[in-house]
Structure 1
């Protein structure tokens, strides 16, 4: 029996991460896993997820920024950490002090990092970012422009120890022929870069290119690491996107809220801001203590999104407010204040998924999970 913890809260089944990690390992063979825990582990709790992943043997973590890396260090994470994004020069000292690996977003950036490392007479650990088609960060290496000399130069910069090289897939989730050809060519370009480094007498270091869909659809590429994010949390970006593999993932997050009020409204009465819902009959309405400030997007208002009350699917009606929303519970008996509503998760034999919210908001699960507010507690699910 669930207990009420707050007005709205999530429960994280951290013990299921080990199962999901094993499912990933089945797909990638001997390739090791770099656990991506950026954005508070996509809303699941970065330090807690990292601790569990470390217990599973994960020895490398990926984050977006230096502050995220510092959170892991402060949380006791001693494994290697790669900052996938940009670190401002005024924060370069943390890379040395906390032994954090920095990605090289450009040659010009690498030169700044090199100058700093020399000025403090120290060495900064780095991974070279190669842009094979994402056109976001990294040294461009594509058919139109192959900046191999710039890559060579990065590896030779004094004060930098370039221990790895990586790239990123923009369309590994698309199994259409054009996207598959594009992704396959990215793999070829990346391998070409690594081979040219070796021919120049330079060790490419740790090679990694697969994101979550790269793991699901391209599986064992023989790289040193892969970079799953949502996968070890048991979900993909979109439940309806077809994938090549068939892993048995367990979603680790459930989301709940309390009912604060139950009342009847009459036929013809309206609900919430804008009066966009009008009752076509006498309707029993439950007000629940979750809103868009908690991460339940206002855009899903009046879209037929359902939650579970006493194990039955009930639609949200009217506009979602900042801290509350209303649900039609006419067909549910004995609903009362304090009852627990399932926004994401299972109750009885019914289940509602994060993907349902994402689909109604025309988004992906990555964004929907990240949007769950910090005011919503992340609680460890009790066994």
Structure 2
């Protein structure tokens, strides 16, 4: 197992590189997740500063004031022209409503409209007006049913405000926290595997080592098998750390999602295509400077064009079409499906499996290109 041990020894020397990219990955994930806000996004009604002049102390008028105050900031004002103008000028209030004496008879049972004043050029007037209109319409409905003024007031008090939770178009709700983790995972896997495999393969081509290996008593076939085994162990170890880290961070939220096996399968398919690409990169580079340049171009280029750092919805159609020729695009496509849909079934499952399958096709294609390059060099 000489070749296997040599692979592992070189990988061990680059453990600092793995730790560095793990730190970058975690920092990027936390940062973007913080920018995205709360995992469960709730609709919050806009609050407006409303001034109220009331000439009616009846139950219906007081109920209207409480209704407006449940959503907005209400300030009771005296009926003084200068005071009203001053409050509007300094934006202490944006909307003033006058409730006349006999509000129940004149505005609910009758058709008289409330007198209002609003700051010019703002939308708040329309916003508060809609709330008042809703109150009056409901009150008129109760009045038509025979409710008294006190009963209308009690009924309006018992009406609950609508609790609105923003959900995704496909029932998935807000994007889950662990979806962010798996969204940025390609950057870590690509960087670590390309660097580690690049350094390993460069090391085996250094100096007279290729000639010594050719003259070794260990058959070339066994040398290649040991190299493949070591590469697989390194890749699976990296994947296992990433999976374990996601389970530790998100726990039951991830494990009870019903999609954890698909997240694992998608990331494993990406791992295979990234490993094959890393082998190809390692076969082409000749020095560490060239390796750094190629890895940065590949990892950052794919992450920016395939929806890792920038959402695919924000990209032009031309960029999206070009990105389809890269494995990370299909990884992110599957990841978006898993995030958007609460339950993966029906015609969504074939799309998910198709995206995973295309990543495996990329892995096979990279292997074929690597074999062709190796054969030409030999």
Instruction: State the TM-score, normalizing by the size of structure 2.
Output: 0.25
Give the structure with the larger helix fraction: 2
Instruction: State the TM-score, normalizing by the size of structure 1.
Output: 0.25
